[in-house]
Amino acid sequence: MSHKTKKYILITILVIAIGGASVGYYLYNKKHFSVEESTPVAEITAAALHQTFVTDSSAAKNKFIGDEINHKVIKVEGDIADVKKDQLGNTIILLKTATDGAFINCTLEGRSENIHAGSKIAIKGVCTGYNFDADMGIPGDVILTRCFIVP
């Protein structure tokens, strides 16, 4: 092999290596997709969202919950039952459903403006599911995370 060929092979290997490392670095540090910029796959009332999970959880999962390849964001409208903070200081908004004690449980990623119980609100977020356990004797909540208030 001539000196020139060796040189070209070395450069090619280097380019591939750097390329591979760059892709790896990019993937490793990839940020979560933007909820704020995403178009909701569904717009639904809090009561209807809860009802769907109660009556047909498979259909609800298929419709409202995405996966790693296909991210899904939903928009929920309802009356605020309560506003509180969790252990990390995140704001939680509970939306009323038709069932007492069952809420759409929304953890905010975006700003929480002047919001208080009783007012109507629209929230965009990622639905992670319906946390219900018959043994526990309490109504379950439909959980939304990474939420943004829709102005």
Partner 1 sequence: MYHKINHNMKRIVFFFLVAVVCCNTSTAQKFYTKNGSISFFSKAPLEDIKADNNQVMSVINTQTGELQFSLLTKGFHFKKALMEEHFNSDYMESDKFPKSTFKGSITDIKKVDFAKDGTYAVTVSGDLTIHGVTKKTTANSKIVIKDGKIAGSSKFIITLSDFGISIPKIYQDNISKTIEISVACNYDQKL
Binding site for partner 1 (CB under 8 A): 27-33, 65, 67-68, 84, 86-88, 90, 92, 103, 105, 107, 128-129, 131, 133, 135-138, 140-141, 143, 145-146
**Shortest separation between residue 130's beta carbon and partner 1, angstroms:** 8
Q: For residue 24, which phi and psi values (nearest 5 degrees)?
A: -60, -45
- How far does CA 64 lie from the centroid of its chain? 10
Nearer to partner 1, 3 or 30 (CB): 30
Output 1 or 100, the one with its CB closest to partner 1.
100
**Residue among 125, 116, 120, 123 nearest 145 (CA):** 125
Residue closer to partner 1 (CB basis): 1 or 134: 134
Question: Which pair of structure tokens corresponds to residue 147?
Answer: 């939420």
Closer CB to partner 1, residue 112 or residue 145?
A: 145
Asked if residues 73 and 39 have their Cβ atoms less than 8 Å apart, the reply is: yes
* Six token digits for residue 115: 């919001």
CB of 138 to partner 1, least distance (A): 6
